[in-house]
Structure 1
Amino acid sequence: MAAQAHLQEQIRHLPHRPGIYKYFDAEGRIIYVGKAVDLRKRVSSYFTKQDHNKKTQQLVKNIERIEFTIVDSESDAFLLENNLIKQHQPKYNILLKDGKTYPYLCITNERFPRVLPTRNKINDGSRYYGPYASVTGMNLILELIRALYPLRTCTYNLSPENVAAGKYKVCLEYHLGNCKGPCQDLIEEEIYNQHIQQIRNILSGNLTVAKGYFKERMMEAATDQQYELAHQYKLKLDKLDDFQTKSMVVNPSLSNIDVFSIASNEKSAFINYLKVMNGSITQTQSLEVQKKLDETDAEILAPMVMQLRQDFESESKEILVNVELPPLPLPGVKVAVPEIGDKRKLLNLSIKNVLYLRKEKESMNEKSKDVNEVRIMEQAKKDLRLKDLPRHIECFDNSNFQGDNPVAAMVCFRNAKPSKKDYRHFHIKTVVGPNDFDSMYEIVTRRYRRLLDEGASLPQLIVVDGGKGQLGMGVKALKDLGLWGQIPIIGIAKRLEEIYVPNDPLPLYIDKKSETLRLIQRMRDEAHRFGITFHRSRRDAATLKTELTDVKGLGPVTADKLLNKFKSVKKIKELSESELVSEIGKAKAKVLLDYFAQQDVPARSAE
């Protein structure tokens, strides 16, 4: 793909150094940002390779100017590319997700802290946990905490002076048992802070401390014969066990690991992220990324690893992935593709999730297509005034050139889509010369007589390529078969794309932008293409057979044998003498070789 002269000049001056490059369009907008180990080689490849896909070809067409920035390493280029994509959101780059709207759980920085959900992190000394991939997941943890610990929800300033002065009274939450009344000094601050510390452990993925605390309290209460209190602690212990089960304990020895997997199709890439802390999966996120160019899975996943780690504030020192990634700018972090063991099982779980997401999205797309198809068929039913939804439509076309090798074709559409296994070719048998009308009568008659004989289902609509004449012959065929009135039939005239119905001299009005007309035109064009292809193959075969059978000493059986195997005279000419001998014997091979040699001798010019 040749570059414009001014771009070629720019490319010649690019350094063989790592860095990032920016492509600008004619309006000065950044349309693509990329990174490279060698800037000159990478940028020049856009203009020299011939096998780019259509999206990349379109990108190259729109490039008017190139800018670049040299950096010290590939890792630096990775980071700079990431930042520029987020800043400029170029048209041809994959746009990375922005995690600003993910929810957090906040333990407030105040006396008798509160635990509350928020989307805004404020630098006031409070502790934030998360972010969480979904509000539902966050609320499950919040409900667990409120079920285990009686925390205050009020916004009072519970300073020692205010509490001692008796400024506040207990509220309904106290009487319901959801709060221990710190506003009236009814719970010791030390005990309340013990609860807060256990909540911090739970939010960090460590349930051991909280479970040990409730188990110890339960045993103490049972020893003191306070069985009702012991039962309350037992219920709280059960809640922790239930939550830990739902948190999917994978292996206590696996701690602080990020797991990423990717699966893609032509249009999209699907990514799954698992965050493992203290042997449990504490965060999961699955997402779809639209491909902009022909990116590989590794090229898509590498920046998404960086982005998701940033969004979920991960500090894990180990990353598991299902594809080899380029070096990431993460000092001290190990990136691996495990093949066996518990880590492989963990990766397989992520892969299972991402494959399910891809299947689900593709299924939704298929359902969306089905909805579109029903809409098209309903519109056709309305426009053509049909009784039934045209789920099965057949379209006929004649193909002949000056009466030579007359053939016809029928294409079948089911649910507004081509059903190629139901396509049929016809050799015109009863018509002599180029007569489209009689040919149409023959093929319609032959098609539906056969369906009737076989007891096969009939279409809900027949389309014939042609105007009132061809339509009339199609109607005659249906009448002779006793099918008139059972199958609607229409004709489409080529010149003005008009639709004709039987017994009406005027064409049926259909909006030129209607999906019905587009469907009929598509069927007509497909029937024409299918018929022309068949006609050419017959014509070419007839021409080839004539050429070989004209060779004296070579009969039609031998000619057919060679043509059926090698398909063309050109390929037969390329055979060696020994190959020909093995196919048709020494004598016939000599006849054919002499014939080819004679054909290759140039004619003498007249003296």
Structure 2
Amino acid sequence: MNKIKEKVLLLPHQPGCYLMKNSQGQIIYVGKAKNLRNRVGSYFTGQQDGKTMQLVMMIADFEYMVTASELEALILECNLIKKHRPKYNVLLKDDKSYPYIRLTKEEHPRLEVTRKQVDDGSRYFGPYPHAGAASQTKKLLDRLYPLRKCKNLPKRVCLYYHLGQCLAPCEYPVSSAEYERIVEEIVRFLSGDARQVKQDLKKQMEEAAEKLEFEKAKELRDLLRDIEMTMEKQHVVFQDQTDRDVFAFAFEQGQMCVQVLFVRQGKWMERDVAIFPYVGTPEEAFLSYLTQFYQRYLLFPKEVLLPTDVDVQLVSQLLPKVRVHIPQRGTKKRLLDTAMKNATIALQERLQWMAKDEAKTVLAAEQLGEYLNVGRVARIEAFDNSNLQGAAPVSAMICFIDGKPAKSEYRKYKIRSADSKDDLGMMKEVIRRRYIRLLREGKDLPDLILVDGGRGQILAAKDVLENELGLYLPIAGMVKDEKHQTSYLLHGDHFTRVEIPTNSAAFALIQRIQAEVHRFAITFHRQVRGKEMLTSALDTIPGVGAKRKQRLFQTFSSIEEMKTAPISEFRKAGIGEKLAQEIQTTLRQLQKDDAKKGTTSS
């Protein structure tokens, strides 16, 4: 830590980005700063909240990049977050997007629901709450306006023409004036003005009724009702028909809730809510969220409303074509207050659920300690071995703290010295390696060790801990039933069978730990086995030497990808069609052979 503080003193008083790294060199947090030395230095001085303190404890080193302005730092921060996906940053889901209705700009325009916005002259309307709402509105428009429905024009008229829902440009000429009239009506409808459409439909319904065409009158009546239902879902807010995004955020106990209200054509169409833990100041976390939010969109609203304590000038630079404003009174202020109220309520609800979940997990750990008569077990470490008929032997350790998985504490082990078919030898090796390291580094020892197995595994672990390391830690074996699920625990010097009520929080915790350590071990085994399979399989193919193997590993991330990839993809690794086919044939055959052998794990 002293080395880091010395490094901080060398930082410039300039804007830029900083990248915090852990002891493995992984980037765990990316931040931006108006003044790099002051901002980075603030992490190592004064009192920090819970999550920031966790981050600081993990920092082993950092690097930084100087930028010309704070705006450049904000944009660079967003790009670095997307690239490195750091553990402690606010991360928006890449696939988080909203459906829009698109009116294409083509010779024969059409309507479609899309989540992608392309700058090709098309007009977009939305966002809609979900794909169902957008599809429902589009279906209504398809019934009202006879635009073409086919993506590619067919050679003859289709059913839509006979239903009166298409002008059939595939066979009959349609004037541009007719298209312009229809487009104007669609735009007016999607902008919230359906009065003319409703009047026309009502008139047609009355005329049909007078002619005793009751079936047609009923269809028109249903259409009118559908229009009413669609329009009722939109709340009128403004008369100026301006597109606006309204942001508000609430924060407490290291958690932040951001609410976005989407106002389109003067109507409050939908809202979005995001709740996440944050590091640093709330204002910094919100700016990071805002930057990532708008990087996904090609089209922007005309106005963005923000709460107080946000740097309006910086956001205006980020969104140069958008009016950024903090409203003080009137309708805009009331809408902002609505967003803030929603954010506060949603955050409080989440914190209450978190508190209940915390109480449950702590209770489970306390119950487990009572059943084993070892006191409260705050830290539990569990071990499991995995191999395939002695091949690729591995072991895995997971850690639960206060009844919750602490994934940063998980560890993977490739078995080095033990016989790969000797499960007890594997257990001894991994226990020895784990606790020698903890003793050497002076780190916390667990309150309880769980091993996947019974008497033999417990004896193996106790032998290493007590006879070699002088450690006397509670150990229990998770004994499985015929369904390969934990049935009971073996514990103590006399291997007492500990029955835990299946409806208790403690039993749920044990089952969760057993499933998690098994999953972690199996996943690691498959990774190791996959690499060994791939390497040995490639070694048997003439023409695949060390350099080509290396290029294959760089091009493909897994065996599965290599087996299923198009032959053309192998060109990226410098491999021709014939050799690529041979590689795929060999790998597929290997998979069949492996399936016949079956997989065993313990």
TM-score by length of 2: 0.53
* Aligned 8 A contact 2:208 2:217 in 1: no
Q: Which residue of 2 aligns with 1:280?
A: 267
Shift of 1:79: 1.7
SS in 1 for 2:256: strand
CA distance in 2, matches of 1:352, 1:284: 13
Shift of 1:239: 4.8
Shift of 1:114: 2.5
Change beyond 3 A, Cα 1:351–1:139: farther
* Aligned 8 A contact 1:510 1:517 in 2: no
CA distance in 2, matches of 1:40, 1:285: 36
Shift of 1:263: 2.3
- Of the candidates 9, 33, 43, which is equivalent to residue 12 of structure 1? 9
SS in 2 for 1:23: strand
Change beyond 3 A, Cα 1:331–1:180: closer
Aligned-partner residue type, residue 85 of structure 2: Q
Q: How does 1:8-47 map to 2 (within 5 A)?
A: 8-47=5-44
SS in 1 for 2:13: coil
Structure 1 position 58 matched with structure 2 position 46: no
Q: Which residue of 1 aligns with 2:195?
A: 211
Q: Which residue of 1 aligns with 2:139?
A: 143
- Of the candidates 90, 106, 110, which is equivalent to residue 114 of structure 1? 110
* Aligned 8 A contact 1:380 1:516 in 2: no
Shift of 1:168: 0.8
Shift of 1:325: 0.8
SS in 2 for 1:269: strand
SS in 2 for 1:94: coil
Q: How does 1:147-546 map to 2 (within 5 A)?
A: 147-157=143-153, 167-171=155-159, 173-185=160-172, 190-203=177-190, 206-208=191-193, 211-212=195-196, 215=199, 239-253=226-240, 255-291=242-278, 293=279, 295-311=280-296, 313=298, 315-326=300-311, 327-328=314-315, 329-331=318-320, 333-362=322-351, 365=354, 509-510=497-498
Q: Which residue of 1 aligns with 2:486?
A: none
CA distance in 2, matches of 1:382, 1:42: 49
Q: Which residue of 1 aligns with 2:593?
A: none
Change beyond 3 A, Cα 1:148–1:77: same
Shift of 1:157: 2.3
Structure 1 position 83 matched with structure 2 position 89: no
Change beyond 3 A, Cα 1:66–1:514: farther
Aligned-partner residue type, residue 84 of structure 1: L
* Aligned 8 A contact 1:18 1:70 in 2: yes
CA distance in 2, matches of 1:496, 1:79: 51
Aligned-partner residue type, residue 57 of structure 1: M
CA distance in 1, matches of 2:304, 2:164: 44
Aligned-partner residue type, residue 308 of structure 1: F
Aligned-partner residue type, residue 196 of structure 1: V
CA distance in 1, matches of 2:231, 2:330: 22
Aligned-partner residue type, residue 303 of structure 1: S
Change beyond 3 A, Cα 1:249–1:154: same
Shift of 1:249: 0.5
Tell me the alpha carbon deviations over residues 312-353 of structure 1, each in whole angstroms, 9 at most, x when there is no partner. 555334322334212323336444443432112211322343
Shift of 1:51: 0.9
* Aligned 8 A contact 1:104 1:131 in 2: yes
* Aligned 8 A contact 1:214 1:236 in 2: no
CA distance in 1, matches of 2:128, 2:204: 36
Change beyond 3 A, Cα 1:197–1:87: farther
Q: Which residue of 1 aligns with 2:420?
A: none
Shift of 1:512: 10
CA distance in 1, matches of 2:201, 2:108: 22
Aligned-partner residue type, residue 319 of structure 1: V
CA distance in 2, matches of 1:517, 1:96: 33
Change beyond 3 A, Cα 1:366–1:144: farther
Change beyond 3 A, Cα 1:214–1:131: closer
Structure 1 position 94 matched with structure 2 position 82: no
Shift of 1:186: 8.5
* Aligned 8 A contact 2:248 2:307 in 1: yes
Change beyond 3 A, Cα 1:56–1:365: closer
Change beyond 3 A, Cα 1:370–1:496: closer
Tell me the alpha carbon deviations over residues 391-436 of structure 1, each in whole angstroms, 9 at most, x when there is no partner. xxxxxxxxxxxxxxxxxxxxxxxxxx9xxxxxxxxxxxxxxxxxxx
* Aligned 8 A contact 1:215 1:234 in 2: no
Change beyond 3 A, Cα 1:367–1:111: farther
Aligned-partner residue type, residue 279 of structure 1: G
CA distance in 2, matches of 1:377, 1:296: 35
CA distance in 2, matches of 1:517, 1:105: 48
Aligned-partner residue type, residue 4 of structure 1: N
Change beyond 3 A, Cα 1:259–1:81: same
* Aligned 8 A contact 2:247 2:336 in 1: yes
Aligned-partner residue type, residue 75 of structure 1: L
Change beyond 3 A, Cα 1:61–1:207: closer
Aligned-partner residue type, residue 310 of structure 2: L
Tell me the alpha carbon deviations over residues 111-161 of structure 1, each in whole angstroms, 9 at most, x when there is no partner. 433322234556766555455452233223223322422343334426xxx
Tell me how large the CA RMSD over aligned residues is. 4.6
Q: Which residue of 2 aligns with 1:484?
A: none
Change beyond 3 A, Cα 1:192–1:225: farther
Change beyond 3 A, Cα 1:355–1:142: farther
Query: What is the number of residues matched between the two proteins?
Result: 387
Please list every run of 5 or more consecutive structure 2 residues that lacks an aligned counterpart in the other structure: 374-402, 404-472, 477-493, 508-602
TM-score by length of 1: 0.53
Aligned-partner residue type, residue 305 of structure 1: L
* Aligned 8 A contact 2:11 2:37 in 1: yes
CA distance in 2, matches of 1:65, 1:373: 33
Aligned-partner residue type, residue 290 of structure 1: P
Change beyond 3 A, Cα 1:302–1:226: farther
Shift of 1:259: 0.5
CA distance in 1, matches of 2:51, 2:359: 27
Tell me the alpha carbon deviations over residues 214-243 of structure 1, each in whole angstroms, 9 at most, x when there is no partner. 646867998999888999878766654543
* Aligned 8 A contact 1:260 1:305 in 2: no
SS in 2 for 1:262: strand
* Aligned 8 A contact 1:217 1:230 in 2: no
* Aligned 8 A contact 1:23 1:63 in 2: yes
CA distance in 2, matches of 1:369, 1:24: 29
Aligned-partner residue type, residue 207 of structure 1: G
* Aligned 8 A contact 2:303 2:322 in 1: yes
Aligned-partner residue type, residue 136 of structure 2: L
Please list every run of 5 or more consecutive structure 1 residues that lacks an aligned counterpart in the other structure: 159-166, 385-416, 418-494, 499-505, 520-607
CA distance in 2, matches of 1:8, 1:268: 28
Q: Which residue of 2 aligns with 1:468?
A: none
Change beyond 3 A, Cα 1:101–1:11: same
CA distance in 2, matches of 1:32, 1:218: 61
Aligned-partner residue type, residue 45 of structure 1: S
